[in-house]
A and B are shown apart, each in its own frame.
Chain A
Amino acid sequence: MSSFQAPEEEELQIENKYLKEKKIGEGTYAKVYRGTERATGRTVAIKKIKLVQTEIGSQGIELSAVREVKCLRELRHPNVIELIDIYSHKSNLKLVLEYLDSDLEMIIKDKSILFQAPDIKSWMLMTLRGLDHCHRNWILHRDMKPNNLLVGKDGQLKIADFGLARDYGDPHAKNMSPQVVTRWYRAPELFFMPSQYGYAVDIWSVGCIFAELLLRTPYLAGESDLAQLELIFKALGTPTEEDWPGFSELARDMKFQKYSRTPLQVHFKAAGSDAIDLLEKMLTYDPNKRINTREALLHSYFRKLPRPTPPDQLPKQQKIQENAIQQNSKPSIQNRGELTEHRNKRKAQEISNKSEKKIHRS
């Protein structure tokens, strides 16, 4: 049994299982490579964690990496990215992850793709199932957005990027950083600098993703934190003490214009009444009243027709599968062109992501 194997030997074996091939991206705290599992030929993503110099000098294993590893080691679900292996090489930590070549943001932005109500329902279902698994395991994701919902060739959606995630459920948890979640998907309570909050922040983000799928454009795209809050109030009405008990206390030093609430149906004309109802429950101001993953999964939206599209029949991006090239080894000229195009898109994406990503703590 593996229990008797020395840790170094075990790790050397893990390292030798994979072949690192090509660099496919670079983020704030990691470089990502495409690789292959030698024994099976399976394509994997190898995320090499950089040793980041913080303002107080190096602090060993990067904190985001610690968070990501801690969470992913506990999670096993078809809608959560699989952390296949981990090894360290000299002083670098390497995470071997499932390789998925698309994400929901790319799909939403690709105007050549048409999608319909059953497709949206399918993506929502997979997102909520994955998130429910996280919450059931006391894990808050804290960065839910279309860009972090990866989509595989088989159409399965998987929640990824747990660099901001943390475990929750400790009633005495304190000092939780409010500087989490990409702004457009950030729940209103987070703008009031709370030291504690809960699973509801992820639900708000999912509500924004739901709206984005319906509109095919980001729903609440604020340009600054203050503008974001203003935008939320404009869209959903400035909350009253009744909507959100405690709101007037939170907002006591701030002046907000009083916007009245426009029914969501006005803005989301094409959506059915069940979809609107679920969306409304996800975008509820009071975090305590906001729907949770369990209730959302039981919502009539998922029970009534149309049925969600089976994952393998979901619309996909028309692009060359990089794997196919590998197998054929001689790509046609045409294929090559498409590949570059795909790469360019990805690149543009990464650049835009990078500029958005902030430095987060605790």
Chain B
Amino acid sequence: MKELFTETSQYRNWFYSKEKLQEIREKNHVSAVERVKQRVLEEAELQKLVSAKSTPTRGEQPERVNSPRLNPSEIEYLKMEDELALCNYYQTQIPLVDSKFPEEIQKNKFTDKVKASAITYVKRFYLRNTMMDYHPRDIMITCLFLAAKTEFSFVPIEDFIKFLTTKATKEVFFDLELIVARSLRYEFTVHHPYLSAYGLFLDMQTALKDAKKIQAIYEKSKEYIHKSLFTDTMFLYQPSQIALATVRIAAKELNFDLNSYFRIKFNSEPKGKLDNLYKILDEIEKIIKEYEPTPLNKAKEIDARLHKCKNPEKNPNSAISRKRKLEREGLEDADHHKKKRIEDEYQKSLEEVFK
């Protein structure tokens, strides 16, 4: 039988080597900067045109979306490292955002699984998108809203708007929800290390004696799993491997010798396979231990720069998005006619039934 993990979408589409992950991020970043640059230039051209044509009256004129003092060619775009750091900052906000909700929602709705999925969605989203298009604060909230749905812990959007001080309307979040869903390729299932760790916990109880210590190890391992969510481990290792690594870290910290357990579990495995497993566990341990969250002041500094290099196309008040809107409306007219014809035919076929 095939290993179950290889059948999951997580393995098929969201599982990479370190090199591949780096390559994806670089290519995504280069093409994003290229695209945003073009839009900024286009916006500048359009703005020039508009101000040349009409006598500006208030409200009619497109908003100047980028600081007017900035010449398009002087704009400094975010670096890949900036985006990664800011992305990390907003991921770490998810557990904090959660605490703004009433206790009942926190406890029953925002489970570890929901938060872990939301964090994963944010990470996956920015593998294929840029913050210059979509600000991470809104994306973070959207991901939490979507994750609550996909993990069967639905929380109405009105609650998000009420408890989180956000200017965005629910329509904004619904639009973003589709954009996020699309970027995730509608693959909502995420396998986290929590369930594997729980399995290990049960298994260790049957294999080893010290029940109290094992409970403590399990609790501690969950803290490391929380931490691992902010790292790249989910793209690089299987959830069961991450779980095992966190249990090992926890055991070491509590001065518990896991060797006897490893011997019981893995001694029948061939040596090469076992060496490889230990190598993987060491790698995961290193990533988790070296992880440092992005500090607030750094996030603020990047965020300030981000505001100067946003894609004008995503601002509904920019000249470029007004132009796009007109173009779209033309296409929609044709689309509407086709739709009406199909609906008419269907209604006619319904009438036939009752003849």
Q: Hey, which bits of chain A sit against chain B, CB under 8 A?
A: 3-4, 6-8, 11, 20-23, 26, 33, 56-61, 63, 66, 69-70, 73-74, 76, 86-88, 91, 93, 136-137, 166-167, 169-172, 175-176, 340, 343-344, 347-348, 362
Q: Identify which of residues 308-355 in chain B touch chain A, using a CB-to-CB cut-off of 8 Å.
A: 342-343, 345-346, 349-350, 352-353
Say whether B80 faces chain A, with CB atoms less than 8 Å apart: no
Would you give the shortest CB distance from B133 to chain A, in whole angstroms?
A: 10
Contact in complex: B342, A20 (CB < 8 Å): yes
Rounded to whole angstroms, the CA-CA distance of A33 and B257 in the bound complex is 61
Neighbour of A66 across the interface among B128, B149, B182, B349, CB < 8 A:
B149
Would you give the shortest CB distance from B201 to chain A, in whole angstroms?
A: 11
Contact in complex: B182, A6 (CB < 8 Å): no
Contact in complex: B186, A86 (CB < 8 Å): yes
Contact in complex: A91, B175 (CB < 8 Å): yes
A to B CB contacts below 8 Å, 18 in the list: A7-B183, A22-B342, A23-B345, A57-B158, A60-B177, A61-B146, A61-B149, A66-B188, A69-B186, A69-B188, A73-B9, A73-B185, A76-B7, A88-B182, A137-B7, A166-B152, A175-B152, A176-B152
Q: What chain B residues lie within 8 Å of A169 (beta carbons)?
A: 195
Interface size on B, residues (CB 8 A): 49
Q: What chain B residues lie within 8 Å of A63 (beta carbons)?
A: 149, 154
Q: Identify which of residues 225-282 in chain B touch chain A, using a CB-to-CB cut-off of 8 Å.
A: none
Would you give the shortest CB distance from A158 to chain B, in whole angstroms?
A: 18
Contact in complex: B182, A11 (CB < 8 Å): yes
Contact in complex: B343, A73 (CB < 8 Å): no
Contact in complex: A22, B345 (CB < 8 Å): yes
Contact in complex: A4, B27 (CB < 8 Å): yes
Rounded to whole angstroms, the CA-CA distance of A97 and B198 in the bound complex is 36
Neighbour of A22 across the interface among B113, B178, B195, B346, CB < 8 A:
B346
Would you give the shortest CB distance from B220 to chain A, in whole angstroms?
A: 18
Contact in complex: B149, A7 (CB < 8 Å): no
Contact in complex: A343, B150 (CB < 8 Å): no
Contact in complex: A7, B128 (CB < 8 Å): yes
Contact in complex: B31, A136 (CB < 8 Å): no
Q: What chain A residues lie within 8 Å of B108 (beta carbons)?
A: 175
Rounded to whole angstroms, the CA-CA distance of A171 and B28 in the bound complex is 38
Q: What chain B residues lie within 8 Å of A171 (beta carbons)?
A: 198
Say whether B129 faces chain A, with CB atoms less than 8 Å apart: yes
Neighbour of B177 across the interface among A23, A61, A73, A137, CB < 8 A:
A61
Rounded to whole angstroms, the CA-CA distance of A263 and B149 in the bound complex is 45
Say whether B304 faces chain A, with CB atoms less than 8 Å apart: no
The A/B interface has a contact count, at CB < 8 Å, of 107
Would you give the shortest CB distance from B7 to chain A, in whole angstroms?
A: 7
Q: Across chains A and B, which 4 residue pairs bring their CB atoms closest together, nearest first? A: A23-B346, A70-B188, A60-B174, A7-B183
For A33, the closest partner residue in chain B by CB is: B342
Rounded to whole angstroms, the CA-CA distance of A4 and B127 in the bound complex is 9
Contact in complex: B8, A4 (CB < 8 Å): no
Contact in complex: B173, A60 (CB < 8 Å): yes
Rounded to whole angstroms, the CA-CA distance of A69 and B157 in the bound complex is 20
Interface contacts beyond A56-B156, A61-B178: sample of 10 additional A-B pairs, CB < 8 Å, sorted by A: A7-B185, A23-B345, A56-B158, A60-B178, A61-B181, A63-B154, A74-B8, A167-B189, A340-B352, A343-B352
Rounded to whole angstroms, the CA-CA distance of A93 and B157 in the bound complex is 19
A23-B345, A60-B145 given; A347·B174 CB < 8 A? no
Q: Hey, which bits of chain B sit against chain A, CB under 8 A?
A: 4, 7-9, 24, 27-28, 31, 35, 108, 111, 113, 127-129, 145-146, 149-150, 152, 154, 156-158, 170, 173-175, 177-179, 181-183, 185-189, 195, 198, 342-343, 345-346, 349-350, 352-353
For A20, the closest partner residue in chain B by CB is: B342
Would you give the shortest CB distance from A159 to chain B, in whole angstroms?
A: 17
Q: What chain B residues lie within 8 Å of A4 (beta carbons)?
A: 24, 27-28, 31
Count chain A CB atoms within 10 A of each CB in B27, B150, B152 and give the residue with the most.
B152
Contact in complex: A170, B183 (CB < 8 Å): no
For A66, the closest partner residue in chain B by CB is: B149
Neighbour of A7 across the interface among B182, B188, B195, B343, CB < 8 A:
B182
Contact in complex: A91, B8 (CB < 8 Å): no
Q: What chain B residues lie within 8 Å of A76 (beta carbons)?
A: 7
A60-B157, A66-B188, A91-B175 given; A347·B182 CB < 8 A? no
Rounded to whole angstroms, the CA-CA distance of A119 and B292 in the bound complex is 62
Contact in complex: B145, A8 (CB < 8 Å): no
Rounded to whole angstroms, the CA-CA distance of A70 and B175 in the bound complex is 19
Rounded to whole angstroms, the CA-CA distance of A91 and B182 in the bound complex is 12
Neighbour of B174 across the interface among A23, A58, A344, CB < 8 A:
A58
Rounded to whole angstroms, the CA-CA distance of A61 and B127 in the bound complex is 23
For A348, the closest partner residue in chain B by CB is: B353
Contact in complex: A347, B31 (CB < 8 Å): no
Would you give the shortest CB distance from B188 to chain A, in whole angstroms?
A: 4
Contact in complex: B198, A8 (CB < 8 Å): no
Contact in complex: A88, B187 (CB < 8 Å): no
Rounded to whole angstroms, the CA-CA distance of A175 and B152 in the bound complex is 9
For B145, the closest partner residue in chain A by CB is: A60
Contact in complex: B149, A88 (CB < 8 Å): no
A175-B108, A362-B152 given; A137·B182 CB < 8 A? no
Q: What chain A residues lie within 8 Å of B149 (beta carbons)?
A: 60-61, 63, 66
Q: What chain A residues lie within 8 Å of B9 (beta carbons)?
A: 73-74
Rounded to whole angstroms, the CA-CA distance of A110 and B113 in the bound complex is 47
Rounded to whole angstroms, the CA-CA distance of A3 and B189 in the bound complex is 18
Contact in complex: A73, B186 (CB < 8 Å): yes
Neighbour of B353 across the interface among A56, A73, A87, A347, CB < 8 A:
A347
Q: What chain A residues lie within 8 Å of B181 (beta carbons)?
A: 61, 88, 93
Rounded to whole angstroms, the CA-CA distance of A87 and B182 in the bound complex is 7
Contact in complex: B182, A8 (CB < 8 Å): yes
Rounded to whole angstroms, the CA-CA distance of A73 and B4 in the bound complex is 15
Count chain B CB atoms within 10 A of each CB in A7, A8, A76, A172 and give the residue with the most.
A7
Contact in complex: A170, B7 (CB < 8 Å): no
Contact in complex: A3, B24 (CB < 8 Å): yes
Would you give the shortest CB distance from A17 to chain B, in whole angstroms?
A: 15
For A174, the closest partner residue in chain B by CB is: B108
Would you give the shortest CB distance from A253 to chain B, in whole angstroms?
A: 26
Rounded to whole angstroms, the CA-CA distance of A137 and B7 in the bound complex is 9
Would you give the shortest CB distance from A58 to chain B, in whole angstroms?
A: 7
